[in-house]
Amino acid sequence: MVRSSVLGYPRIGEDREWKKALEGFWSGKFEEAEFHRQLQEIRLNHLRKQQEKGIDLIAVNDFSYYDHVLDTATMFGIIPKRFSYKGGVVPLSIYYGIARGTKDATASEMTKWFNTNYHYIVPELSEASPVLTENKPLLAYREAKEKLGVEGKPVIVGPLTFLKLSKGYSLSETDTWLSRLLPLYVQVLQELAAEGVQWVQIDEPILVTKLSAADLQRLKSIYETFAASVPNLNIMLQTYFESIENYSDIVALPVKGIGLDLVQGLSGNISSLKTLGFPEDKVLGAGVIDGRGIWKAELGEKRVLLEELAEFVTAERIIVQSSCSLLHVPVTTKHETKLVNELKDALAFADEKLDELVLLTKAVSQGGSEITAILEENDHAIEPLKLSGERNRSDIQNAVFAISAQNPERSHPFSERHLAQQNKWQLPILPTTTIGSFPQSPEVRKARQQWRKGEWNSEQYAAFIREQIDIWIKLQEEIGLDVLVHGEFERTDMVEFFGEKLAGFAFTQNGWVQSYGSRCVKPPVIFGDVAFKGAMTVEETKYAQSRTERPVKGMLTGPITILNWSFVREDITREQIAYQLAYALRHEVEALEQAGIGMIQVDEPAVREGLPLKEEEHEKYLAWAVKAFRMATCTVQETTQIHTHMCYCEFHDMINSIEEMDADVISIETSRSHGELIHSFELNTYKLGIGLGVYDIHSPRIPYVEEMTSMIERALRVLDPKLFWINPDCGLKTRGLKETVDSLRNMVEATQIARAKYASLV
C-alpha cells in the first residue's frame, strides 16, 4: 500500500509562536520550565495537525530550539572550548551561547544550508571530545507516542553530511573524526531500535553534490556499519535539493529506503531511474511535492509521474513525500484573506502540501472518479494566474530582452573611477561606514503599525521617519563615521520594502519562514512581470543628505538578492526574472544619482546562496548573476561610487565573480567566520575597494577594540590599505541602541589605531 510522508514541518507556528517563545525566554520574561512547556505545546500541535490530516509517516526530531545542525553537535557534545562545557546534557545557556554569543565568547559561524535561505550553526570539531549527551531522536519519538499515539519517524542529520558541513579539522583527519562519530550514531540507532522504532530518516543532502572516491568509500562504510549494528531498523537514506550524484553507489547501500527529490532533482533522478533501475529490496521515497516552493502542484502531472515510477518500483514500495523538509515554506494559506483569488488559488503552503500528499497517495493507491475530479479541480484553479495580464506584459518583456542582449559596463575602469571618487570625496585612509540599517526600536515598529492601520496619515509617518533620520545622522557624526546612512527606518525588510513598490509582486499577511534562529522573514511573491513604478528611496536618502556635509549612501537591495529571497514564479527562468529586477532597479539607481546621491549601495548578500549545487552549473549562474548586478548599476557617472554587500556564505570559490561585479566597494562578512575569508585574499589579488566586516552584528555582545584591531591587522596584511574600508559585517536593524552605539564607537577607535599605523600611505 502506498504511504505518505513529510521530511519535516515548519517550527515557527501559524502565528510565529515559536519565535515569540524564544525571544521571550532570551529576554527573561519566563523561566526555563515555562519555556520548555511552551515549546512542547507548539511541537505537539504540529504533530497533531499532521496526524489529523492523515500523513502516514510523521517526522519527529525535526523540531528544534534553534537549529537542527546545532542540535546534532550538542547531542554529540561538540562544544567549542570557549564556552566552558563541563559535560552532560548541554544547558540552554551554552546551547544559545554557541548560536548567539555571550559576553565573553563569540558565537559559532553561521552559514547557508546548501542553497536555501536557512542558516545553520557550523559545528567546530577542533579540540572537541564527542560523546552522546542525550538521545534527542529517542526523546522525540517517545513524546510523540506517549502524548499522541504517533508512531513517529525520527529524523537525524547523517554522519557524512554532518562531517562535511563542520569545520575545525583537516582533510587528513576526516577518517579519524568519522571513527569518533560513528559509534555515537550507532548508539543512537541501537537505542531507537530497542524502543521499537520502525523507520528512521537519515538526512544526507551532501549526496547531491560531487563526492570523492574516498567519500564514497566512507559512505559505504557508514551504512554497512549501521546495517550490521541495527539489522532490523528501517533506514530511509534521504536526499534533497537536487538529483543525487553516484546513483549506482548510493542505491546499492544496505538501507531499506532511498529518498529522492523529484522536484528540483527531477531530471537527473528520473534519468538515473530509467537508465539504471531501482533495487527490488528497497522502498523509494518519492519527493514529488515541492518542499521549497509555494505554488500548488499540478496534481494531474504528479499522478502521472507516480504512475511512471511504477515501471521501476512496485506501488507498495513507494512513499509519496515532500521533496525536502517543509521548513522552507510558510505554515498555511488560511490566513491570507487579502490576496486576489487568482493568486491565492494557486498557492500551497505547508498545510496545503500535507493535503496534496494525502490526496496524491489516495489517487495512486485507490483511484476512482471522485479523486480524479478533485485533482482536476485543483489543476483548474491554477489556470487564471497563468493567463493573467500581470504575467504577460509585452512592454517589460521587450525592453528587458533588448537590454539583456547588451554587455553592461561602466563608462570608465575602476582605476580611473577610484581617482575621480577620491578627488570628489576626500575620505581619510581606512574610511568607516555601516551596512545600512539602524535599530528598529519599538517606537519605530509602533509608528509603522499606526501608519499601516490608518491611525497615522502619510505626513505624520514621514515626519516621524525624518525625526529618526535626524537622530541617527547626529549620532553617526558624533561617533565619527565617515560615510553615513539614513538608517532605513521606513523599511520592514530589505526585500519586502522594494517589492511593495514594484509591479509584479504580491505580499502575504502571514507567510513567514525561518531564516536563522528566531529570525523569520516574509518573502514577497514574484507572480508577474516586474516593473518600476516610481522612485522608492529618493525622498528619505535626499533628506538625510541635506542634514549633513558627510556623504550619505543610497541603499538598495540588488536583483539577485530580491530574486533569491522571494518566492518566484515558475513559468519563466530565474535568469529572466533577474533581468527584469535589474532593469527596474536601474531606474532607481539613476533617480538617486539625479537627486545628488553620489554613493549608492546595491546589496547582494544572497548571490552565493543561489549558486546551483551542481558544479557544472556554477559558471552559467554566476555569469547571469553578475550581469544582472551590472545591468542595474552600469549607467552612473564615474564619480558615483557603487557599493555592495554580501554576508554569511562561503565566498572563497567565487572571488573572481565578485570582482567581475565591478562594484567600487564591496563589504563582506568575515567576523563570525573568525577571519577565515581573509585566507582567500592571500591566494587571490583583489584590486577594488573592500571592507571585511570587523564585528558580528548577529550577536548581542559588544566587541572589544582589540578584537577589531586584530581583524583589521590581519586583513591589511593581504589587502591594500588605500582600498580598505572598515564596517560591521551586516545591518544593525536587530540590535539595541546602546550596543549599536558602543560597538560603533569601539570600531572607530580601532580604526584610529590602524590609521596611525598606515597614515604614511596617504
Taking phi first (over 0 means left), then psi (-120 to 50 degrees means alpha), and beta for anything else, what does residue 430 get?
Answer: left
* 459 annotated among ligand-binding-site residues: no
Domain final residue pick, 334, 369, 386: 386
Cell of 686: 583583489
- Arithmetic mean of pLDDT, 714-720: 86
* 335 annotated among ligand-binding-site residues: no
Name the β-bridge partners of 124: 167
* 134 annotated among ligand-binding-site residues: no
The answer, yes or no, to whether residue 73 has pLDDT greater than 70, is yes
Supply the CATH number for residue 281's domain. Answer: 3.20.20.210
The answer, yes or no, to whether residue 408 has pLDDT greater than 90, is yes
* 562 annotated among ligand-binding-site residues: no
Residues 479 and 493: their CA atoms lie apart, in Å, by 26
* 478 annotated among ligand-binding-site residues: no
Asked if 412 is an active-site residue, the reply is: no
**Are 295 and 426 in the same domain?**
no
Model confidence pLDDT, tens digit, residues 609-619: 888 999 999 99
**Are 539 and 582 in the same domain?**
yes
* 565 annotated among ligand-binding-site residues: yes
With respect to residue 756, please indicate whether it lies within any of the assigned structural domains.
Answer: yes
Q: What angle do CA 451, 456, 462 make, to 5 degrees?
A: 75
* 4 annotated among ligand-binding-site residues: no
With respect to residue 577, please indicate whether it lies within any of the assigned structural domains.
Answer: yes
Residues 524 and 663: their CA atoms lie apart, in Å, by 26
Residues 131 and 133: their CA atoms lie apart, in Å, by 6
Per-residue model confidence (pLDDT) at position 294: 97
The H or E element that residue 525 is part of is: strand 525-532
Please report how the helices 618-633 and 574-594 are oriented relative to each other, as an axis angle in degrees rounded to 10.
20
The answer, yes or no, to whether residue 124 has pLDDT greater than 80, is yes
With respect to residue 391, please indicate whether it lies within any of the assigned structural domains.
Answer: no
Per-residue model confidence (pLDDT) at position 669: 75
Per-residue model confidence (pLDDT) at position 185: 98
**Are 179 and 261 in the same domain?**
yes
CB–CB of 337/19 below 8 Å?
no
With respect to residue 664, please indicate whether it lies within any of the assigned structural domains.
Answer: yes
3-state percent breakdown (helix, strand, coil) of the chain, nearest 5: 50, 15, 40
Domain that holds residue 207: 3-14+50-77+109-386
Half-sphere exposure of 440 (CA within 13 A, CB side): 17
Cell of 21: 517563545
Residues 108 and 95: their CA atoms lie apart, in Å, by 11
Longest dimension (CA), the chain: 83
Per-residue model confidence (pLDDT) at position 606: 86
With respect to residue 398, please indicate whether it lies within any of the assigned structural domains.
Answer: no
**Are 167 and 275 in the same domain?**
yes
* 436 annotated among ligand-binding-site residues: yes
Q: What angle do CA 608, 610, 611 make, to 5 degrees?
A: 70
**Are 465 and 586 in the same domain?**
yes
**Are 307 and 213 in the same domain?**
yes
Q: Which residue has the cell 521499537?
A: 196
Model confidence pLDDT, tens digit, residues 344-398: 999 999 999 999 999 999 998 887 788 888 888 888 889 999 999 999 999 999 9
Residues 332 and 346: their CA atoms lie apart, in Å, by 13
**Are 567 and 662 in the same domain?**
yes
- Arithmetic mean of pLDDT, 281-293: 97
* 603 annotated among ligand-binding-site residues: yes
Q: Which residue has the cell 582533510?
A: 171
Identify the weakest region by mean pLDDT among 60-69, 348-357, 649-658: 649-658
**Most confident listed range (265-274, 486-495, 656-665, 727-736):** 265-274
Percent of the chain clearing pLDDT 90 (strictly above): 82
Residues 538 and 555: their CA atoms lie apart, in Å, by 10
* 61 annotated among ligand-binding-site residues: no
Identify the weakest region by mean pLDDT among 395-409, 451-465, 563-577, 720-734: 720-734
The answer, yes or no, to whether residue 311 has pLDDT greater than 70, is yes
Residues 71 and 170: their CA atoms lie apart, in Å, by 23
* 26 annotated among ligand-binding-site residues: no
Residue 127: band (very low, low, confident or very high) from pLDDT cuts 50, 70, 90: confident
Which parts of 204-350 are beta strand (E)? 234-238, 257-261, 283-289, 318-322
* 453 annotated among ligand-binding-site residues: no
- Give me the catalytic one of 46, 119, 328, 698: 698
Model confidence pLDDT, tens digit, residues 662-707: 999 998 876 555 455 666 676 667 889 998 888 877 777 888 999 9
* 146 annotated among ligand-binding-site residues: no
Cell of 478: 558624533
Residue 387 sits at φ, ψ, to 5 deg, of: -95, 0
**Are 440 and 293 in the same domain?**
no
With respect to residue 408, please indicate whether it lies within any of the assigned structural domains.
Answer: no
With respect to residue 349, please indicate whether it lies within any of the assigned structural domains.
Answer: yes
What are the residues whose beta carbons fall under 8 Å from the beta carbon of 660, sequence distance 6 or more?
Answer: 626
- Arithmetic mean of pLDDT, 629-640: 97
- Arithmetic mean of pLDDT, 496-501: 92
- Arithmetic mean of pLDDT, 582-588: 98
The answer, yes or no, to whether residue 37 has pLDDT greater than 90, is yes
**Are 446 and 377 in the same domain?**
no
Could you please report the per-residue DSSP string of 646-692? E-SS--GGGHHHHHHT--SEEEE--TTTTTTTHHHHHHS---SEEEE
**Are 381 and 515 in the same domain?**
no
Residue 656: band (very low, low, confident or very high) from pLDDT cuts 50, 70, 90: confident
How many domains, the chain? 2
If you average pLDDT over every residue of the chain, what do you get? 93
Residues 325 and 352: their CA atoms lie apart, in Å, by 14
- Arithmetic mean of pLDDT, 259-266: 98
153 burial (CB, 10 Å; 0-12 / 13-18 / 19+) is buried
- Nearest residue to 647 via CA among 679, 669, 670: 669
With respect to residue 433, please indicate whether it lies within any of the assigned structural domains.
Answer: yes
Identify the weakest region by mean pLDDT among 21-25, 142-146, 740-744: 740-744
C-alpha dihedral, 715 to 718 to 723 to 728, nearest 10° = -20
Percent of the chain clearing pLDDT 70 (strictly above): 97
More confident residue, 670 or 711: 711
**Are 437 and 342 in the same domain?**
no
Residue 119 DSSP code: E
Per-residue model confidence (pLDDT) at position 726: 94
**Are 444 and 377 in the same domain?**
no
Residues 554 and 485: their CA atoms lie apart, in Å, by 7
Domain final residue pick, 344, 364, 386: 386
* 609 annotated among ligand-binding-site residues: yes
Q: What angle do CA 325, 330, 336 make, to 5 degrees?
A: 150
